[in-house]
């Protein structure tokens, strides 16, 4: 049963954290925080389920920092670890927790693929009490001898279900085998199913489970619409939606289709950019910053980017390609209606997709508003704010090219990664290609 706390001060957070919460304008815990903080601060293993945008980062971040305060990490031996599935989410978690860590004199390091491996190794050797990492890159650093996890007393898996879905379960298992055996473990996600159950049974001790949303993670602050559209009308209707006022995310099934749609929208006068795992980390960071500042108004993304995108005021998500699983639908939709805001999720459905989408909505626990639309229809305008684009082609300054690979100190990880952040193939002449390894995110 969830206990609603009147304030953070009532649960015994360190004064430095309370002061920083006040600076950040946060004076009341969100439901997931109110439910989990008493147990997590006491050092218990915790399973926390709450929808995307519900405040999970502070729900695990505050107790991690609270329980780590006053200790100092040795070179390459962090004291706390947060594992996440994507680079964007890693940066989001780091950005959210850094002010609180600074208030306690704690050092943070972010370890992800797509950025310089040597720089991350140097950051770990300099000492970092908290490491926020994607599994593959952390494995790289451990294998190089740049990191050891035997001093990690608090371990968090954020979006644990997605890590299982993305095939990281073997890597996550190996990492959890290396942390302090008597340490605290916390798993947070919008859903807790599939491979996560195996992690819970093996690595958590008498975990306390808290769920502040239904198992389907339905977001009541969202309005869900299914727009039935004929194939011949879909491109024009989609362009009108993308030309609306405000920022919009369009979700596609593949990175190649995302790139193509972004180019088509730019040619029609829509300030669009594609975001997917085929781009380097500097490119992805630059594109997200362009989206946040309004230089890009329409982001064309794949599911690799579905978690870790947080932009205030984003009120429309469009499933151009309907997802195949209810979980993916919920996480795509979770980019809007965050932290108590409202938002709209629209799914464009061709006649041959109707049955599959109907089943998906049932599994997701959603009853959408459905209507047949054509370009320029009043219903299309009312639901999405669609309007005619200018038709004048626009150019968005491209993100910088990936940095050249380092010739010393190991692989830099700066080349264009594969989907999810894996390494690009070795291109040096006269040397055989190395066997492909599991992707590093």
pLDDT of residue 81: 98
Residue ending a domain, among 359, 384, 409, is: 384
Shared domain check, 193 and 229: no
Q: Is residue 404 in a domain?
A: no
The CATH code of the domain that includes 177 is 3.40.50.300
pLDDT of residue 410: 35
For residue 163, which phi and psi values (nearest 5 degrees)?
A: -60, -40
All residues at 6 or more sequence positions from 35 whose CB lies less than 8 Å from its CB, including other chains: 2, 3, 48, 210, 212
pLDDT of residue 249: 93
pLDDT of residue 14: 94
Angle of CA points 33, 38, 44, to nearest 5°: 110
Q: Is residue 216 in a domain?
A: no
pLDDT of residue 11: 85
pLDDT digits (tens), the chain, 441 positions: 444 455 888 888 999 999 999 999 888 888 889 889 999 999 999 998 876 666 889 999 999 999 999 999 999 999 999 999 888 889 889 999 999 999 999 999 999 988 899 999 999 999 999 999 999 999 999 999 999 999 999 999 998 887 877 778 899 999 999 999 999 999 987 666 667 788 888 899 999 998 875 444 444 467 899 999 999 999 999 999 999 998 899 999 999 999 999 999 999 999 999 988 888 878 888 888 898 888 999 999 988 765 666 676 688 999 999 998 887 887 788 776 554 456 899 999 999 999 999 999 998 888 999 999 999 999 999 999 999 999 999 988 765 554 433 333 333 333 333 333 333 333 333 444 444 444 444
Shared domain check, 235 and 116: no
Shared domain check, 166 and 245: no
Q: Is residue 423 in a domain?
A: no
Shared domain check, 350 and 203: no
Range of the domain at 260: 222-384
pLDDT of residue 441: 43
Q: Considering its fold, how many domains does the chain have in total? A: 2
Q: Which of 436, 426, 415, 418 is nearest to 115 (CA)?
A: 415
Shared domain check, 247 and 183: no
Shared domain check, 75 and 204: yes
Shared domain check, 177 and 61: yes
Q: Report the C-alpha gap between 226 and 229 in whole angstroms.
A: 9
Burial of 58 (0-12, 13-18, 19+ CB in 10 A): buried
Shared domain check, 228 and 195: no
Q: Is residue 99 in a domain?
A: yes
Pairing of the two strands 298-301 and 272-275: parallel
Shared domain check, 174 and 72: yes
> Do residues 385 and 404 lie in contact, with contact meaning Cβ atoms separated by under 8 Å?
no
pLDDT of residue 193: 65
Count, in order, helices (H) and strands (E) of the chain: 15, 14
Residue ending a domain, among 178, 211, 244, is: 211
Sheet containing 108-111: give its strands across. 108-111, 130-133, 80-83, 154-158, 184-189, 46-49, 208-211
Q: Is residue 341 in a domain?
A: yes
Q: Report the C-alpha gap between 117 and 98 in whole angstroms.
A: 21
Token pair for 416: 């264009």
Shared domain check, 121 and 100: yes
Token pair for 156: 């968090």
Shared domain check, 267 and 359: yes
Q: Is residue 417 in a domain?
A: no
Q: Is residue 336 in a domain?
A: yes
End-to-end C-alpha distance for the chain, whole angstroms: 36
Q: Which of 242, 169, 199, 166 is nearest to 47 (CA)?
A: 199
Among positive and negative, which fits the CA dihedral 190, 195, 201, 202? Answer: negative
What DSSP string describes 269-333?
T--EEEE-TTS-HHHHHHHHHHHHHTS--EEEE-GGGSSS---TT--EEEESS--SSHHHHHHHH
> Do residues 340 and 361 lie in contact, with contact meaning Cβ atoms separated by under 8 Å?
no
Q: Is residue 391 in a domain?
A: no
pLDDT of residue 199: 86
Q: Report the C-alpha gap between 438 and 441 in whole angstroms.
A: 10
Residue ending a domain, among 211, 238, 268, is: 211
H/E run at residue 18: helix 15-23
Q: Report the C-alpha gap between 412 and 140 in whole angstroms.
A: 11
Shared domain check, 360 and 236: yes
Pairing of the two strands 369-372 and 343-349: unpaired
**Alpha helix locations (H) across 29-134?**
31-41, 56-68, 87-103, 117-126
């Amino acid at each position: 049963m969830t206990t609603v706390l009147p304030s953070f001060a009532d649960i015994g957070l360190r004064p430095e954290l309370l002061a920083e919460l006040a600076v950040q304008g946060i004076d009341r815990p969100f439901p997931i925080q109110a439910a989990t903080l008493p147990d997590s601060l006491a050092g218990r293993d915790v399973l926390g389920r709450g929808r995307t945008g519900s405040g999970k980062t502070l729900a695990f971040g505050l107790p991690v920092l609270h329980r780590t305060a006053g200790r100092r990490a040795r070179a390459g031996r962090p004291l706390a670890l947060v594992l996440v599935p994507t680079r964007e989410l890693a940066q989001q978690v780091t950005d959210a927790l850094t002010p609180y860590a600074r208030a306690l004199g704690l050092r943070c390091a972010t370890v992800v693929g797509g950025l310089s491996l040597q720089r991350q190794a140097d950051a770990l050797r300099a000492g970092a009490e908290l490491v926020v990492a994607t599994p593959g890159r952390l494995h790289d650093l451990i294998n190089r001898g740049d990191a050891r996890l035997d001093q990690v007393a608090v371990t968090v898996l954020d979006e644990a279900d997605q890590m299982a879905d993305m095939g990281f379960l073997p890597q996550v298992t190996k990492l959890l085998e290396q942390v302090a055996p008597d340490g605290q473990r916390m798993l947070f996600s919008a859903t807790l199913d599939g491979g996560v159950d195996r992690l819970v049974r093996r690595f958590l001790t008498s975990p306390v489970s808290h769920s502040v949303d239904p198992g389907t993670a339905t977001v009541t602050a969202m309005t869900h619409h299914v727009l039935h559209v004929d194939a011949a009308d879909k491109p024009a209707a989609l362009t009108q939606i993308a030309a609306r006022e405000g920022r919009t995310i369009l979700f596609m099934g593949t990175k190649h289709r995302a790139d193509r749609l972004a180019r088509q929208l730019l040619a029609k006068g829509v300030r669009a950019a594609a975001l997917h795992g085929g781009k380097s980390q500097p490119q992805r960071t630059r594109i997200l910053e362009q989206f946040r500042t309004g230089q890009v108004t329409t982001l064309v993304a794949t599911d690799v980017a579905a978690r870790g995108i947080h932009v205030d005021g984003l009120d429309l998500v469009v499933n151009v390609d309907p997802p195949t699983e209810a979980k993916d639908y919920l996480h795509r939709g979770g980019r809007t209606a965050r932290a108590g805001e409202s938002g709209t999720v629209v799914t464009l459905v061709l006649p041959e997709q109707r049955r599959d989408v109907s089943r998906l909505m049932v599994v997701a626990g959603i009853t959408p508003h459905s209507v047949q639309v054509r370009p320029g229809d009043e219903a299309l305008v009312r639901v999405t704010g669609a309007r005619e684009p200018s038709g004048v082609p626009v150019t968005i300054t491209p993100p910088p090219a990936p940095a050249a690979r380092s010739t010393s100190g190991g692989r830099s990880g700066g080349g264009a990664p594969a989907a999810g952040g894996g390494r690009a193939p070795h291109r040096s002449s006269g040397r055989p290609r190395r066997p492909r390894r599991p992707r590093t995110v």
